[in-house]
Copies of this chain bind each other. A is one copy, B any other.
Amino acid sequence: MVDRLFPSELEQMVLLAILRLGQHAYALAIIRELDRLAGRSVSRGALYKTLERMEAKGYLVWSTEAATPDRGGHPRRLFTVTPMGVEILRTSRNALMRLWDGLDPILGERPA
């Protein structure tokens, strides 16, 4: 397995969504967050595959929700980004910042 320096497009967004959701980062919430904030729609299958791969790479870990499993079906899984996951997000963000730098005339002003 190649040890990539940058997260893929989906990986990056999923990692960010998990960070944003904090204590509430379970799969379906991630899907809704991505859709809401980025207009990025992801099917459950695609998401779970990505989550598994990122777990294998050490970008995140998960725990099954213990408290209040009053919902039916499978127990819910809660995801957490590891320091390694945060690190790769930083690397990626810095690279993009540098590439974007100076291109505002073409890409439009940065919101905020």
Contacts and interface: CB of A to CB of B under 8 A. Distances in A.
Interface of A: 5-9, 12-13, 16-17, 19-20, 37-40, 86, 89-103, 106-108, 110-112
> At the interface, is chain A mostly helix, strand, loop or mixed?
helix
Given A8-B8, A40-B6, A99-B16, A94 B111 contact: yes
Report, nearest first, the 7 A-B pairs whose CB atoms are least far apart. Answer: A38-B95, A16-B99, A37-B98, A9-B9, A8-B9, A90-B107, A19-B103
One complex includes copies of this chain to the number of 2
A93 B100 contact: yes
Given A38-B96, A93-B96, 19 more contacts: A5-B39, A8-B9, A9-B9, A9-B92, A12-B96, A13-B95, A13-B99, A16-B96, A16-B99, A16-B100, A20-B99, A20-B102, A20-B103, A37-B99, A86-B107, A89-B107, A90-B108, A93-B100, A96-B96
